Chain A
Amino acid sequence: MIPLAPARRPAHQIRLSRRLASLTGWTLTGACLFALAALMVWILEVVFVRGVTALRLSVLTTITQGTGGGLLNAIEGTLVLSAGALLLAVPFGVAAGIYTAEYRFTRWATTIRFLADVLVGVPSIVVGYFGYVGMVEWLGWSFSVAAGSIALAIISLPYICRTTELALRQVSNDLRDAAYSLGANDRRVILGVCLPAALPAILTGVLLALAVSVGETAPLLYTAGWSNYLWDGHLTHSPIGYLTYAIWNFINEPFAEANALAYAAALLVTGFVLIINIAARFMLDRRARR
């Protein structure tokens, strides 16, 4: 339906000061948007141009040696830590999301939803320091995959919970009614009907949580530590490298080859995060159009 266009006065009948104010308004707001987009382009330009210059095959295939070498250990570590975080966070996060979506009017669901939103806002360094004093020191795990993964899992848990909830809410209530009227109980309705219907959207949410944990630094600095070597397979008492540490540490070194490693790591992390976000956007878009 085309809305009726309201009758408008011709421009010359509007006082000049009002026309000027409007023009200024559009110009300023447009400038804000343009500035934001330009800054985004600037960041991407710095990361991609310097990153591509620094990226060599040897960076992907060799381990770090002092301030040079490659990033194989960091790439492996980022994958191990993020996979560990997802392994821990997905079952709990999805279950919590199911509860807050399917029993959304209970007081407990409201509380969980609210606290998940609050937990998203807890600074990642607080989670990291909690991991340090709690797991590294108090439990005596020292810098380790276990401590790093749990810290990352705490960060991604509320994301997964909330995206699962939003995904389940997209499922039409007719589907639930139909299943209940066929005599299914809560469990059958949720696990057999709602969850499969919401699965693509839930997976998108999990992917976005993966992007977040790949880009995190602060929770890992004092839980995972850093290592120049490949992971030895131990869950505790053995530090592990990761890409974001390489960015932070190697950009502060005075050597060109160390800086190159930082740029390469930044390219890998940013590229991965952007690809996931763009893919998630396309997935959500296609579903919305259907």
Chain B
Amino acid sequence: MRAMKFRAWLALIAGILPATLAAIVLFLAFYSWPAMHFNGLGFVVRDTWNLGNLYANPIMRHGTQVQPGATYGILFLIVGTLLSTLIALAIALPMGIGAAIFLAEAVPERLRLWISFFVELLMAIPSVVFGLWGYVVVIPFLGHHFYPLIAQSLGKAIPFFAAPTGSGYGLLTAGIVLSLMIVPIIAATLRDALVSQPASLREAALGLGATRFEALWKVMLPGTRKTLIGATFLALGRALGETMAVLMVSGNALNYLPHRIYDPVSTMAAFIVSQLDSALQDPTGLAVRSLAEIAFVLAIISIVVNALARLLLLVWNNSQRSVVV
């Protein structure tokens, strides 16, 4: 009897986790409801974010009080978020896979622990410190030395990479900084999976005459494909919602779709931070509610991506174990 009561209490307290998640989603939906009603589905396909004439008297449109000329669209944010995440993944995936392979297969076991700990410490570095590093040293370095080089080589063939390369703030910089923040997720998960592959696999491959690298590349690595996909989704979720570092290096473009990879962009997460102050100037409050709509969309996207990642890792690995990142 007593034991049942203890268990029931624990179950009840544990319910705070689902309750928190539900509270976040439902409250953001509830709060942004007037904005959703006013913006409609066009919210995600319009590329203009305009608070309207803030000095005029509010007017009624579609049953909502708005400032004249106000339109809220976030297409440029969706494009910025997707492109920067895509660039980050394009860099982080090969780099993470390479680092994991070398750590698992080439580094002696005693050193492996310490080197992987050092590299995975990247996960612990706060986002705003990545932003500081990006802002202070990476932007000048890339803007002055690296981007002109890409523009002169790759830019000759592909217009998306052509000059002008701008000041260093922008899409590519955001992608590069983001990639460094998600590489350890991929590297750590894949290294774990590679180390825990049965040694007999490698021995069988070597016995058939494969070189060590061939055994790894053609036998060991394919076995970790599912873990890799799960880890990639985790990294994707992290990159989509990353705020401070992107805010500090992306150039925070407004109502602008990037034409070149060096152009300034903004992401949904960074935009919420950079626009709240001006949204508060809107006397109807619709701008603040539209920002809440962005937060709601971002919450839904990240919940779907993370749920997918965890499901993949859970079902495929058939284990309860998961990396807390």
Contacts of A123 in B (CB 8 A): 240-243, 269, 298-299, 302
Contacts of B102 in A (CB 8 A): 26, 29-30, 32-33
Encode contact with B along A142-168: 1 for CB under 8 Å, 0 otherwise. Answer: 000000000000100111011100100
Given contacts A26-B102, A115-B21, A266-B132, contact A96 B126 (CB under 8 A): no
Q: Nearest chain-B residue to A267 (Cβ)?
A: B129
Given contacts A9-B209, A19-B211, contact A117 B126 (CB under 8 A): no
User: Does B110 sit within 8 A of A, measured CB to CB?
Assistant: no
CB-based contact A130/B187 at 8 Å: no
Given contacts A99-B11, A248-B248, contact A273 B126 (CB under 8 A): yes
Contact of A186 among B3, B107, B288 (CB under 8 A): B3
The minimal Cβ–Cβ distance linking A266 to chain B, given in whole angstroms, is 5
User: Does B178 sit within 8 A of A, measured CB to CB?
Assistant: no
CB-based contact B276/A218 at 8 Å: no
Q: In the docked arrangement, what's the CA distance between A30 and B104, Å?
A: 11
Encode contact with B along A130-141: 1 for CB under 8 Å, 0 otherwise. Answer: 101110011000
Provide a sorted-by-A list of 5 A–B residue pairs whose CB atoms are within 8 angstroms: A6-B207, A116-B17, A126-B295, A216-B127, A281-B117
CB-based contact B213/A133 at 8 Å: no
Contacts of B27 in A (CB 8 A): 130, 133-134, 138
B contacts, CB < 8 Å to A: 2-3, 6-7, 10-11, 13-18, 20-21, 23-24, 27-28, 31, 94-99, 101-103, 106-107, 113, 115, 117-119, 121-122, 124-133, 135-137, 180, 183-184, 187, 199, 203, 206-207, 209, 211-214, 216-217, 234, 237-238, 240-244, 247-248, 269, 272-273, 276, 288, 291-292, 295, 298-299, 302-303, 305-307, 309-310, 314, 320, 322, 324-325
Contact of B119 among A37, A50, A158 (CB under 8 A): A37
CB-based contact A124/B324 at 8 Å: no
Given contacts A121-B237, A123-B241, A216-B126, contact A43 B6 (CB under 8 A): no
Encode contact with B along A241-277: 1 for CB under 8 Å, 0 otherwise. Answer: 0001001100100000000001100100110011001
CB-based contact B303/A32 at 8 Å: no
Given contacts A30-B106, A92-B16, contact A99 B10 (CB under 8 A): yes
Known: A14-B209, A37-B119, A218-B243. 5 other contacts (CB 8 A): A36-B187, A47-B129, A161-B17, A187-B3, A215-B129
Q: In the docked arrangement, what's the CA distance between A39 and B91, Å?
A: 14
Interface residue stretch chosen among A60-68, A79-87, A100-108 = A100-108
CB-based contact B24/A248 at 8 Å: no
CB-based contact B11/A248 at 8 Å: no
Contacts of B117 in A (CB 8 A): 281
User: Does A217 sit within 8 A of B, measured CB to CB?
Assistant: yes
User: Does A57 sit within 8 A of B, measured CB to CB?
Assistant: no
User: Does A283 sit within 8 A of B, measured CB to CB?
Assistant: no
What DSSP secondary structure best describes chain A's contact surface? helix
User: Does A221 sit within 8 A of B, measured CB to CB?
Assistant: yes
CB-based contact B24/A126 at 8 Å: yes
CB-based contact B3/A244 at 8 Å: no
Contacts of A154 in B (CB 8 A): 20, 24
Q: In the docked arrangement, what's the CA distance between A42 and B184, Å?
A: 16
Contacts of A133 in B (CB 8 A): 27-28, 31, 288, 292
CB-based contact B31/A33 at 8 Å: no
CB-based contact A121/B303 at 8 Å: yes
Contact of A119 among B3, B20, B238, B305 (CB under 8 A): B20
Q: In the docked arrangement, what's the CA distance between A112 and B229, Å?
A: 23
Q: Nearest chain-B residue to A112 (Cβ)?
A: B14
CB-based contact B302/A251 at 8 Å: no
